[in-house]
Amino acid sequence: MPADASRRLHERALRSVPTGTHSNSRVASPYPTYFVRAEGAYLWDVDGRRWTDFMMGNGAVILGHAEPHVMAATQDAVANGLGAGFESELSITAAEKFLQLVPNAEQVRFTNTGTEAVMHAVHVARAVTGRPSIAKIEGAYHGWWDEVFVSTWPDLRAAGNAHMPVPLPGGAGLRQEAVTSAVVVPFNDLETTAAILEARRDDVAALIVEPTMIDVGFIPPEDGYLEGLRTLTSELGIVLVFDELLTGFRVALGGAQERYGVTPDLSVWGKALANGFPLAALAGSRAMMARTEPGSDNAPFVGTFNGYRPALAACLATLELLEDGAVTRSLEERSRRLVEAWDEVVAKAGVRARLHAGGGHFQPYFTPLPVRDYRSAATTDAAAYERLRAAAAERLLILPPKALLHAAFSTAHTDDDLRALIDATRAAFIEETPDA
């Protein structure tokens, strides 16, 4: 498929932008596709082609691109001219609506990105406990800040024993002390986690957990795991932080904490919170959130663009469309049907694979092993995934560029759009098989 305009834009971009992109996650070979418009489930590129989007802003666009109610609210906010640096009634109304939908939280403060929300959570945990170190799940992504960009998609050849993972930097330039002091624990292994945290009980301030691991695909918690973490962290005086950036409003209206009935001390939110507009939140108990108030013993919580009014307008409009729960229920049911159809195709093809999905997130794993943590997910066959991704691209379907990321659909995707994904899977693994 020729893409001459994207190629020319990439050549131009390289003169002023490293890689020609503003996020390394968008780097593509031989060059990325550049887009001009989005609506519903679709993107139009600079060469005039319409693509079906199965990334949806890394899961953020839950209602579809340019959803009319959200766009109208945001445009009204922009027209009023009130943006950064001041409070308005909207900042209260949006907070009230959020707490209505996330009843496990008692208070909330808005910021701009998931990374910033995580930074605030870490600061609060340290202020509360007086301890320096942060514990996190091996393989999980919680942003690019030094303290948490550790053992994120790590090279398992250097990651040590599964029962004592070695903290590895997510890239160069991180503060070495942040990496070496980090505590890395496996997902869905309560016994190992307890042993590691008990040995570090005097210096671990917080355990941050993505309650369903989604940045490496879609790995749900096993029965009793989150409940066990809640009990364990309470006993050890460790602040339990749920990263709900991807689970929020998708796996349940009130996030994974509602779905699994486990209340963390703090939680961070974003992505679907504003249907893709840049907004994030820190939420938690009144006592925990009080530690963000001004005071020498409290954590800082400042930012010119915190509570940016156009983003809050998008948030309120999005939450209004989500509040009856119909969107979340529909995404869950359609995810279930997608799994059934996809698994049927790969079974017919004789491919050792399985599709994990929930809340509109989905991830194919090309491995015979049960996928329950990062190390089992990392056994996926990257070549088989690339075969699927290429077949999808031939049909102008956008899937993530790497085998361990995560795909997503929205309420704007039609049944025909999902069938196109199944057709791409069939083409990749059956129609190209000589004996098929």
Q: Which residues are catalytic?
A: 141, 243, 271
Phi-psi region of 193 (alpha: psi -120 to 50; beta: other; left: phi over 0): alpha
- What is the Cα–Cα distance from 351 to 370, expressed in whole angstroms? 15
Q: Residue 255: helix, strand or coil by DSSP? A: coil
H or E, element range at 268: strand 266-269
H or E, element range at 267: strand 266-269
- What is the Cα–Cα distance from 137 to 154, expressed in whole angstroms? 11
Give DSSP secondary structure letters for 143-204: -SSTTT-BSSS--TTSS--TTSPPP-BSSTTS-HHHHHH-EEE-TT-HHHHHHHHHHTTTTE
Sign of CA dihedral 23, 28, 30, 36: negative
Main-chain dihedrals φ then ψ at residue 415, nearest 5 degrees: -60, -35
Q: Residue 356: helix, strand or coil by DSSP? A: strand
C-alpha distances in Å from residue 260, one per residue of 225, 305, 341: 10, 33, 26
Give DSSP secondary structure letters for 31-100: -PPPEEEEEBTEEEETTS-EEEESSTTTTT-SS-BT-HHHHHHHHHHHHTT--SS---HHHHHHHHHHHH
Give DSSP secondary structure letters for 4-38: HHHHHHHHHHTTTSGGGSSSGGG--SS-PPPEEEE
- Tokens 């249907």 found at: 275
* Residue 222: DSSP 8-state: P
**CA nearest neighbour of 411 among 41, 59, 42:** 41
**CA nearest neighbour of 326 among 228, 249, 229, 271:** 249
Q: Residue 329: helix, strand or coil by DSSP? A: helix
- Tokens 């909330």 found at: 108
